[in-house]
Amino acid sequence: MKPLDPRLLRYSRSSRGFLLLSVIIALSGAALSIAQAYLLTSLITELFQKDRAIEDMGATLRILVAVFIGKAALGYISNFVSSRFSTRIKSELREGLINKVIGGESDALHRLGPAELSLLISRGINNLDGYFSKFIPQLFIASIIPLAVGIAITLQDWKSGIIVICTIPLIPLFGILIGRFTASATQKKMETLGLLSGYFLDLLSGLPTLKVYNRSKLQTKKLGEIGDTYRKETMKVLRVSFLSSLALELVATLSVALLAVSIGIRLVNGSMTLSSGLIVLILAPEVYWPIRQVAAYFHAAEDGVSVSNQIFEILDSESVNGTQIVPDIKAITWSELTVSYPNRSTIVIPAGQLTTGKIHALVGPSGAGKSTLIAILLGFTQISTGEIVVSTSSGDFSFDQIEKNHWRSLLSWMPQDPHFASTSVGEIINHKESVLSDVSLKVSDLPNGLDTHIGALQDAISVGQKRKLALARAFSKPSALLILDEPTASVDDVSEEEINRTLEREAKAGRIILVASHRPTTIASATNTIKIVAR
Amino acid sequence: MKKLARFIRPQMPALLQAGIIAGISLSMSVGLLACSAWLISMASTRPPILILEVAIVAVRFFGLGRGVVRYFARIREHDVALNIQTRIRQSIYSTMEERMPTELIGIQRGKILQQVVTDSEAIQDLWLRIALPWVAALVSGASGIGIIYWLDHAFGILAGAIFLAAMFVIPFVSILTSAGSEQRATEEELFDGFIQACDSIEESLVFGTNSAVRDELMKTQGKISQNERKLSSVAGIAESLQALFAGSTIGLAIIASAHAYGVGKIPGVNIAVIVLIPLAIYDGLPLTFAAFSQVTTLMKRADSLAPYLQQILEDGVPNQLSHEDVVLKFTNLVPNTVAGRLAPVTAEASPGKPLVIQGRSGCGKSSIINAILGFVDYTGEITKIDSDSTSIMLQNDHLFATSIRENLKIGRPEVSDREIMQILEVVELGSLIQSMPEGLDTHIGPYGFNLSGGEKQRLKLARVLLRHTSVYLLDEPFEYLDVQMAQRIALKIERILVTKTLLIVSHLPLRLSEQSNTLGLVSVNSKP
């Protein structure tokens, strides 16, 4: 785990100032701790060894009070600074993510899925809170205070200094050694916990199914058994992974004990003064606690780091986009294209051509690559090999070089699984009521006619009606290229005829129409067939 | 919150025990500093070394014991926490299990389910990071104050009062200042907006609506930041309060011990002990108090979880499946969900005479199935069917993230591999599954093999066919399949279920044997 990702500085302008302020705060903290140790020691030794009355030490006492107030103020300031900066950094990262994802410049949506991505951007980013406002400042404190305090101890008593210098490196060293030893164990614990949580969610998601199968009553006991098994497994792992914190605490407290005993013996010998001894004793825990505190925040940091890794991966991902603007589309011609997805066999699309005024049927078994070709033409998927040429009234363009946002303004599309913005049917079809009859969708079938609100009430219309509406939306956008993915699936024969008539009319009007379909009549109505075979 | 408290009451003794063990380990830090202070002060008077021997042993003991006891405290804490987690899961499950399938499908669609699962995990912090550390701090504080009291009664009482005040005032302030209720609401807003945007991102790019979506999301994100800025101005109050409580106790300790020493109430070696103990007590507190800023959020989560926390119900035993012949008949049926849009329907399915309900999208096909199952209200008459004699395939049936075999066995656990393979042939999945290296043991779902939409659909179909009952209700069983395959599979199903009562709802034009009936649904207000 990288505790501080350099990409943070790149993506968040605010982070530099934050890191600088964290250093200043840590330095002030060190100064106050050392001052407190000196003042307390001076008061104790004056009282005890020199038998001075407390009334004579008003000045020292006042300075001590000032140090306490300083500590309180620093506590407020450091929290304020870190939480303010955490807010700003989070906000910068959120905006970056929204721009990147909504702008269609990242494949994160496909990799993570909408639910996970939304969770990341809303609540997931809050995992950075602990990371920015606790872990990072503590990281600076842990590297500055032990050093400063160590120097102060060495100045008082070099022998104690040696003990401190010898034991400080033991903490990170033990941490790393045991960390490495327990890393796989921790990983295993996280995995089992994740698995258990996933299992539980899966079980709840499938509850309606279990219920209709009359098997839902058997699971409570099983949940208990599985929970028990996992608990035992996890505890085995935890017994090992807690060893690391045990080692850290042992080093810290044993060192203090070691120092105290050695100081005590040297005091008896007379080779040391009480004030040096007390200063070392008061300061000694200050050497160790910041490092231990880092370990305590480690959990928060781990969440934060994994979230920031996810975020930076998305922000880092480069979209491949061209710059050329095409005025119109006369034809699209491609050589054999391949698209490789991880963990899946490569999809091969044979060479083909789309020309104006024709209906091109895209056929082939499911999974062969029909949707892939459509995604390529929409500019959502990159091809691995092959070439696509777009012919226009001002010459031929290579598809790679075309600016895709402008390209998409030239085409219209009906996806297989349509979604609509939360608005009325009228709004969705650009108030072109005629397109509804083109797709055989009757206004009277919609609960509130053209004012039927989609989105808020996704259930107001049926699946089939939704598909027809998506088709109507595709027709309603003036476009040179019309891409339709299964326009006649889940549609009855009468509607299919109506839709096929519309397709013919639109093709005659000079549009390029590409239709992916399983339906024989739709395929038959096409003038050209593009066949993709599964390999 | 009360409900949660009642729910975890059986685990309370174990939790308290873990807190006290953690407290003992913290007390050892206090003991370490107190003994060391005494040791050093005493040593400076150059006594015979024997007098120091006990202190030296004590210092070493505390130095060693702190970490070891903490280790056992941690283990105890996590064991209890995992136990509670399991009980909460069981309770959520058995509460949800009580509900109607339609109600459950409503829950599945929203993000309630995800929410319930994450809430049930998050509220663990209420005891692991808040209650237990507080108990531990109280125990260690009490032991430190106890030593002070033993040395100097009067100051012991004063220090104890200040400490108790700190233990209650600081968490209270921390909770009060961190009440970020608006925060969560806007976060939900962003989540909802974003998830909707994600679903339709490609479409919004094609139809040019994405900049409006972006503006909307940016506005919500701005609101979140604004709220957070408000919170940051109070974030440090708890920590500075803690520093003030610590400072005033130490300051008073100096004055009190000076006076006590002056009047001869305490020996000089005890001054350092009395002054340094508060340092040790307050040292570990900031972490404990910082966690209290989460209390409001966690309590809200606990409240939203409360409806799912109840007594865990005992598992029942599923009834035997029934094979008796059933005639499924409905007369003048109009489900209320499509009232006014669907003409009353009358039809019948009986053993050997399957019924296919067909119609255009949105005409109420699925509503008829739901009415038969009693999930929705209706007018007209329906033969009562018994759930033990009926197998149902619903539109959003779930495949579990486990092996193909486990998924298929849900219908009938005693089914043999031979039967499974026969049915897989019927749905034309036999060769695919045989080609998989692990065959029926192949895991499916997010962490396993990725089946296509059509393959999943056919697997669900196989599962329902493997269940031996007298009635089969199949709602859109051939979704995602092409007409030819649907037609082939439908005929095979009719053949193997020839002695059963079969009802298929489909938008595809299916042609079954001559014995079958087809009911075409027509909307009332659609004109021929």
The answer to whether residue A425 is domain-embedded is yes
**Helix (H) or strand (E) segment spanning residue B96:** helix B49-97
If DSSP codes are grouped into helix, strand and coil, which group holds residue A413? strand
Buried b (16+ CB within 10 A) or exposed e, A178-204: bbeebeebbebbeebbeebbebbbbbb
Q: Splitting chain A (535 residues) into consecutive groups of 10 residues, what average pLDDT does each group show?
A: 69 81 92 94 89 84 95 92 88 88 74 72 79 83 89 91 84 68 62 70 80 76 81 81 80 88 90 90 87 73 77 79 87 90 72 91 79 87 89 91 89 85 79 81 77 63 78 90 84 80 88 86 84 74
DSSP B320: P
Burial (CB count within 10 angstroms: exposed 0-12, middle 13-18, buried 19+), residue B14? middle
What does the pLDDT read at residue A111?
Answer: 66
- Kindly list the residues from chain B whose CB atom is less than 8 angstroms away from the CB atom of residue A118: 190-191, 194-195, 198
Q: Are residues B194 and B260 in the same domain?
A: no
Residue B330, beta-bridge partner list? B347, B382
Which of B195, B204, B218 is nearest residue A95 as measured by Cβ atoms? B218
pLDDT one digit per residue (tens) for chain B, 528 residues: 778 888 888 889 999 999 999 999 999 999 999 999 999 999 998 888 888 899 999 999 999 999 899 999 999 998 998 889 888 888 888 888 877 666 666 555 556 777 788 788 888 888 888 999 999 999 999 999 999 999 999 999 999 999 999 999 999 988 887 765 556 667 777 777 777 777 778 888 888 888 888 888 888 888 888 888 887 787 788 889 999 999 999 999 999 999 999 888 889 899 999 999 999 999 878 777 878 878 888 888 888 888 887 766 666 666 677 777 888 888 888 888 777 777 888 899 999 899 999 876 667 777 888 888 877 788 888 887 777 788 888 877 888 888 899 889 887 888 899 999 999 999 998 888 888 888 888 888 665 566 777 888 899 999 999 988 889 999 888 887 878 888 999 999 999 998 999 999 888 788 888 888 888 876 655 433
Total domain count, chain B: 3
Tell me whether residues A87 and B232 touch, CB distance under 8 A: yes
Type of residue at A421: A
Q: How many C-beta atoms surround the C-beta of residue B133 within 10 A?
A: 24
Shared domain for A223 and A371, answered yes or no, is no
Cβ within 8 Å, pair A264-B39? yes
What are the CA-CA distances from residue B344 to residues A53, A445, B471, B519 (Å)?
103, 17, 23, 12
Whole-angstrom CA distances from A2 to A6, A18, A306, B402 are 9, 18, 10, 35
The count of domains in chain A is: 3
Instruction: Please tell me which residue of chain A has the smallest CA distance to B84.
Output: A227
Distance separating alpha carbons of residues A137 and A82, to the nearest angstrom: 7
Examine residue A79 and state whether it is found in any structural domain, yes or no. yes
Specify whether B203 is located in the same domain as B144: no
Q: Tokens 């400076």, residue?
A: B44
Residue where a domain stops, chosen among B245, B277, B308: B308
Mutate to test the interface with B, among A121, A321, A430, A448 (most CBs of B within 10 A): A121
Chain A hits for B361, Cβ within 8 Å: 462-465, 467-468, 490-492
Do residues B147 and B188 both lie within one domain? no
Q: Which of A48, A115, A254 sits opposite B195 (nearest CB)?
A: A115
Q: Do A205 and A251 fall into the same domain?
A: yes
Q: Domain boundary residue among B275, B308, B341?
A: B308
Set of chain B residues whose Cβ sits within 8 Å of the Cβ of A197: 117, 121
Task: Check CB contact of B248 with chain A, cutoff 8 Å.
Answer: yes
Q: Which of A355, A356, A392, A388 is nearest to A373 (CA)?
A: A388
The pLDDT assigned to B527 comes to 35
Helix and strand counts by DSSP (H, E) for chain B: 21, 8
CA distance A469 to B231: 46
| Residues B154 and B185 both lie in one domain | no
- Domain assignment present for B202: yes
A280 in a structural domain:
no
Q: Can you tell me the distance from the alpha carbon of A203 to that of B401, in angstroms, rounded to the nearest whole number?
A: 9
Closest alpha carbon to B355 in B142, B169, B512: B512
Structure tokens at B492: 């095979």
Q: Are A402 and A322 in contact (CB under 8 A)?
A: yes
Q: Which residue has the tokens 């395929």?
A: A523
Say if residues A478 and B207 touch (Cβ distance below 8 Å): no
Are A168 and A120 within one domain?
no
A326 within domain boundaries: no
Distances (CA, A) of B346 to B338, B382, B514: 15, 9, 19
Please give the Cα distance from A206 to A70 (Å, whole number): 58
Which residues in A lie closer than 8 A to residue B79 (C-beta atoms)? 231, 235
Task: Check which CATH number belongs to the domain holding B397 and give it.
Answer: 3.40.50.300
Find the CB nearest A495 among B94, B117, B360: B360
Tell me the C-alpha to C-alpha distance, in Å, between residue A212 and each of A201, A430, B375, B396: 18, 43, 11, 12
Q: Outline where A218-297 has alpha helix (H).
A: 219-269, 274-296
Contacts of A491 in chain B (CB under 8 A): 360-361, 507
This prediction has a pTM of: 0.75
Same domain, A111 and A6: yes
Q: Helix H segments across B100-208?
A: 101-109, 112-122, 124-125, 132-151, 153-177, 181-199, 201-206
The predicted structure's pLDDT at residue A481: 93
Angle at B155 between CA B152 and CA B160, to 5 degrees: 115
HSE-up of B499 (CA within 13 Å, CB side)?
5
A325 domain residue, yes or no? no
Examine the domain organization and report whether A140 and A185 are in the same domain.
Answer: no
Rama region for B325: left / alpha / beta (φ>0; ψ in -120 to 50; rest): beta
Same domain, A13 and A108: yes
Mind giving me the DSSP string for B332-386?
Answer: EEEEGGGTTTB--EEEEEBTTB-EEEEE-TTSSHHHHHHHHTTSS-EEEEE----
Q: Looking at the complex, does the CB of residue A264 fall below 8 Å from at least one CB of chain B?
A: yes
Q: Helices A219-269 & A170-205, crossing angle to 10 degrees? A: 170
> Is A234 within 8 Å of B78 when comparing Cβ atoms?
yes
Please indicate, yes or no, whether residues B29 and B146 belong to a single structural domain of this protein.
yes
C-alpha distances in Å from residue B361, one per residue of A449, B279, B506 = 16, 75, 10
A-contacting residues of B 490-519, CB under 8 Å?
507, 509
pLDDT of residue A180: 65
In the prediction, which pLDDT does A230 show? 80
Whether chain B has a CB inside 8 Å of the CB on A194: the answer is no
Candidate from A95, A246, A518 with C-beta closest to B71: A246
The residue type found at A66 is: A
Q: Find the CATH number of the domain harbouring A519.
A: 3.40.50.300
β-bridge pairing B378-382 and B328-335: antiparallel
Q: How far is A6 from chain B (nearest CA, A)?
A: 24
Q: Is the Cβ of B456 closer than 8 Å to some Cβ of chain A?
A: no
**B228 touching A, CB under 8 A?**
yes
Interface residue B76 vs chain A (CB under 8 A) = no
**How would DSSP label each residue in B481-507?**
S-HHHHHHHHHHHHHHTTTSEEEEEES
Are A482 and A513 a contacting pair, CB within 8 Å?
Answer: yes
Domain's final residue, options B257, B273, B308:
B308
Is the same domain home to B495 and B425? Answer: yes
- Chain-centre distance of CA B201, in angstroms? 29
The answer to whether A83 contacts B228, with C-beta atoms less than 8 Å apart, is yes
User: Exposure string (b/e) for B27-60, b if CB count within 10 Å is 16 or more?
Assistant: bbbbbbbbbbbbbbbbbbeeeeeeebeebbebbb
Q: Report the residue from B63, B202, B259 with minimal CB separation from A378.
A: B202
Does residue A183 share a domain with residue A127? no
Cβ atoms of A12 and A89 closer than 8 Å: yes
Are residues A79 and A19 located together in one domain of the fold? yes
Query: What pLDDT is attached to residue B422?
Result: 92
Examine the domain organization and report whether A44 and A152 are in the same domain.
Answer: yes
Contacts 24+ apart (CB under 8 A), B4-8: B4/B123, B4/B126, B4/B302, B4/B305, B4/B306, B4/B309, B7/B87, B7/B88, B7/B91, B7/B309, B7/B310, B8/B84, B8/B127
Going from the C-alpha of A423 to that of each of A429, B34, B278, the distances in angstroms are 11, 70, 64
Q: Alpha-carbon distance A51 to B467, whole Å? A: 93
Question: Which letter does DSSP use for residue A424 in this model?
Answer: B
pLDDT, residue A228, reads 85
Element (H, E) at A391: strand A388-392
What's residue B526's pLDDT? 42
- Evaluate whether residue A281 is within a structural domain: no
- B342 plus B238 within the same structural domain: no
Residues B483 and B394 in one domain: yes
Q: What letter does residue A319 receive in the DSSP assignment?
A: P
B319 lies in a domain?
no
Our CA-based measurement puts residue A68 at a distance from the nearest CA of chain B, in whole angstroms, of 5
Return the pLDDT at B528. Answer: 34
Instruction: Note whether residue B314 is domain-resident.
Output: no
Give chain A positions within 8 Å (CB) of B525.
444-445
Domain of B268?
2-178+234-308
Enclosing H/E stretch for A375 = helix A370-377
In a domain, residue B317? The reply is no
Residue B528 lies in a domain: no
Is residue B40 located within the same domain as residue B152?
Answer: yes
- Alpha carbon distance B401, B407 (integer Å): 8
B contact test, residue of A78, A120, A268 with most B CBs within 10 A: A268
CB burial of A420-442 (b: ≥16 within 10 Å; e: otherwise) equals bbeebbbbbbeeeeebbebbbbb
Q: Does A342 touch chain B (CB under 8 A)?
A: no
- Pair B212, B249 in one domain: no
B245 and B107 in a single domain? The answer is: yes
Same domain? For B210 and B333 the reply is no
Query: B241 to chain A: which residues are within 8 Å by CB?
Result: 72
Q: Which of A98, A212, A420 sits opposite B221 (nearest CB)?
A: A98
B190/A121 Cβ within 8 A: yes
Put simply, whether A524 touches B (Cβ < 8 Å) is: no
Q: Would you tell me which residues 102-161 of chain B have a C-beta closer than 8 angstroms to some C-beta of chain A?
A: 104-105, 108, 111, 113-114, 116-117, 121
A132: in domain? yes
Q: Does A238 touch chain B (CB under 8 A)?
A: yes
Residue B460 included in any domain: yes
Q: Kind of pairing, strands A512-516 and B390-393?
A: unpaired
Taking residue A341's Cβ as centre, other Cβ atoms within 10 Å add up to 12
Has residue B358 been placed in a domain? yes
A313: which residues sit within 8 A by CB, 6+ positions away? A108
Q: Which of these, B172, B86, B167, lies nearest to B121 by C-alpha position?
A: B86
Question: Which of A94, A444, A479 to mutate to test binding with chain B, by most B CBs within 10 Å of its CB?
Answer: A94
What would the two tokens of residue A502 be? Answer: 């519309």
Test the B interface: residue of A52, A122, A160 with most B CBs within 10 Å: A122
Average pLDDT, chain B: 84
Do residues A413 and A470 both lie within one domain? Answer: yes
Flag whether B35 is in a domain: yes
CA atoms within 13 A on the CB side of B434: 11
CA contacts within 13 A on the Cβ side of B522: 8
* Euclidean distance between CA atoms B237 and B231, whole angstroms: 11
* Whether residues A467 and A393 fall in one domain: yes
C-alpha–C-alpha distance, residues B22 and B31, integer Å:
14
Quote the minimal CA–CA distance from B319 to chain A in Å: 8
The whole domain housing A162 covers 158-271
B33 in contact with A, Cβ within 8 Å: yes
Residue A54 shares a structural domain with residue A85: yes
DSSP, collapsed to helix, strand or coil, labels residue A395 as: strand
Integer angstrom CA distances of residue B144 from A506, B12, B70, B201: 87, 25, 18, 61
